[in-house]
Amino acid sequence: MADDIRRIGIMGGTFDPIHHGHLVAASEVADRFGLDEVIFVPTGQPWQKADVPVSPAEDRYLMTVIATASNPQFQVSRVDIDRGGPTYTVDTLRDLHQMHGPKVQLFFITGADALEKILSWKNLNEIFELAHFIGVTRPGFALTDAHLPADTVSLVQVPAMAISSTDCRARVARGAPVWYLVPDGVVQYIAKRRLYQG
């Protein structure tokens, strides 16, 4: 029966730190696609960011847990962190399928900027078999599936949040506020662990 199938959103990211742009995108897609849950998956060492220093995985994981704790539909997975090495989305999707068994449908949520780069991802054909892709709008980037195979991606407009982790890190480094860009608990975690001090 079709309603036995659990509909699970996957929100992959570096989450260094997680911010309200990520949370709104996940919440909006969950509503529009009738998802049962959204699993946030912080990356291990991100291969696209090999040249930029990234905060320790445990800090990024804990900030993601803090930010999502109050939403019963939101979960956090350690698969990419615990696998070790660079994170490839094909491995994330394979692992989540293995963990959840056959009765799931996965929806991989990605911002317009990441969607643009998707053709450079490893094992693209398999990736599209493992999950349906949902591209969401992000201020400053054009949302288009023009370069992608037909019917592999849905495009969704989400409330515009001109927030990036890069800007949050730069703000902390220069002593500017990140209140209301990231959840309160994340502001406090950043201060407690002295992240992004430059």
- Smallest gap from Cβ 69 to ligand ATP, in A, equals 18
Which CB atom, from 5 or from 159, has the smaller least distance to ligand ATP?
159
Residue nearest to ligand ATP (CB): 111
- Closest contact distance (angstroms) between CB of 188 and ligand ATP is 20
Q: How far apart are alpha carbons 14 and 35 in whole angstroms? A: 22
Gap between the Cα atoms of 156 and 94, Å rounded: 25
- The three-state DSSP-derived secondary structure of 17-55 is CCCHHHHHHHHHHHHHCCCCEEEEEECCEEHHHCCCCCC
Q: Which residues bind ligand ATP (CB under 6 A)?
A: 13-16, 21-22, 25, 110-111, 113-114, 136, 138, 161, 163-166
Of 104 and 161, the one with the shorter C-beta distance to ligand ATP is 161
Nearer to ligand ATP, 99 or 160 (CB): 160
CB of 3 to ligand ATP, least distance (A): 29
Q: How many CB atoms lie within 10 A of CB 140?
A: 9
